[in-house]
Amino acid sequence: MRHSNHRGRTGRMEANILHADLDAFYASVEQLLDPALRGKPIAVGGGVVLAASYEAKAFGVRGGMPGRRARELCPGLIFVGGHFKDYQRLGDAAIQVLSDFTPVVERISIDEAFADVAGCTHLFGPPAEIATTIRRRVRAELGLPISVGVARTKHLAKIASQVAKPDGLMVVDPRHELEFLHDLPVELMWGVGPVTRERLAGIGVRTIGELAKTNGGSLERLLGPAAGEKLNALAWNRDPRKLETQRRARSASAQSALGRRPAEAKIFVPTLLHLADRVATRLRAKSRPGRTVTVRVRFADLRSVTRSITLDQPISATATLAEIAEALVRKVLVDHPHEKTISLLAIAVSHLEKQPALQLELPLGLDDDSRRPGTRKGAARWTADRAVDKIRDRFGWEAVGYASVTLGESRSVPDAFRELAEKEL
C-alpha cells in the first residue's frame, strides 16, 4: 500500500482521509423497509427513543429521550420496533463499498468508518471523486443516504462529515483547514459531550477557535491535564493518529439509562447484574477476562462519577463482576450522600488478557475466594456461567438468565440494539 511522503509539521498535507457516516441510520433503514414511512417523523424504540429520523429531529426528538417526551415534542411521531438483522446487513454492505476502493478501512461503529485512499488515487481518481462515487453507490445499491467528510486528519474528516449532513459531501482543503475548523461549535469535536460543552461555555468558549486560543492552563484546570491537552491539540488539527485496520476493543462495557430513579439497592443491584451479565458473556465468548473493573454513576444533574479497581487476576464471571460493581457503586453513593437520584449506570472491564484455560488454585480460605477464578467457589461460578452460555447459544438470550435480572429489570432498550454497538473483542 503506497502512502504519500509529503508531510508538514502536523502530518501529511494531502486530504486523503475519508470519514463515511450513514445518516440517521436506524431510522433510514426503517424508511427503506417500509416506503410508507418515508418523509414522516419516525423513532425506533418505544419507552426510550433509540434513533430518530431527520423529520423527527426537526421537532427536537433525539436518541436516548423518553418516549413520552418525544411524543410531546412531536405529536405525529411514529414509533417502530426495529429490524436489527437488517441494520447489521446494510451496515456491513455500506462498509464493504469503502473496502472496494482501499484495504485501509477502520470501522468504528455499525454505520461509520474511516478510509485512507492515499494509495488508490491513481486507480480511482482524487479523494473527492472517490467520496462522490462511494455516496452514489451506497444510494444506488442500498437505498441509503451517507455523508462523507474528506480531510488531512481523522479528527477533521469526522467533523467534516458532520458538517456535510444530511446526505452530503465536505472536502476540507489543507490550506484552509483552520479557517473551516475554528468557526464551528465545540460540540462537534471528538470527546466534547454535553457536560464538557457546558463547562467550556462557563468560561466563554463556544467555538473551536475560541478553544484553540484558550490558555492551556485554564483548560487543564477545567477538564484535567490529559483532556485539556488533547482538546487543545485537536482544536489546532494536530492529530497524528493513523487508521487501525485491525482494531480490537481494549475494554468491554455496557450501560443503562434509568431516567430518574431512586439511588436505592432495589434499583441499582438488578441493573448492575444485567450489565455484568452482558459484559461478562462477551468476555467469556472470546476468552478475554479483564483485571480492571470501572463503574460510572450519572446523577440527576447529568454529572458523572467513576470508580475503578484493578484485581490481581482477570475475571469473566457474571456474579463476580456484579459483586465488584455493586461495591464500587455503593462507594460512590457513600462519597456523595446528598445524591438521591441516579440517571445512568455503566460497567466497563479493561486490561483484557487472553486466557485459553482456567488455572486452578489451592483453597486458601481468603475473603475474596469467590472472586478468584481458580478457587473452588470461583470455578463453580465460571462453570455455571458456561452452562448458561451454552443454553443461550442454542436457544437464544432470553432462554435463561439470572433471577434478579429476569424478575426485576424492565429493559427499555432491546439487547439486540445494544449488541450492534458492541466492539469485537
Residue 111 counted as an annotated binding residue: yes
Residue 415 counted as an annotated binding residue: no
Q: Closest by alpha carbon to 31, among 90, 71, 74, 73? A: 90
Phi, psi (deg, nearest 5) at residue 62: -145, 160
How many helices (H) does the chain have, and how many strands (E)? 17, 14
CB 249 within 8 A of CB 425: yes
Q: Closest by alpha carbon to 207, among 178, 227, 230? A: 178
CB 42 within 8 A of CB 177: no
Which of 30, 112, 177, 409 is catalytic? The answer is 112
Q: How far from 295 is each of 12, 307, 316, 321, CA to CA, in Å?
A: 39, 6, 16, 11
Give the three-state DSSP class for 319: helix
Strands 169-171 and 146-151 turn out to be parallel
The Cα 301–Cα 303 span in angstroms is 5
Question: Quick one: cell of 220?
Answer: 487543564
What percent of the residues of the chain are helix, what percent strand, and what percent coil, each to the nearest 5?
A: 45, 20, 35
The Cα 106–Cα 101 span in angstroms is 13
The Cα 10–Cα 195 span in angstroms is 29
Please state the separation of Cα 285 from the chain's center in Å.
Answer: 20
Active site residue 112: yes
State the distance between the two ends of the chain, measured CA to CA, in whole angstroms.
Answer: 26
Q: Which residues are tagged catalytic?
A: 112
Which residues are known binding-site members for Mg(2+)? Answer: 21, 111
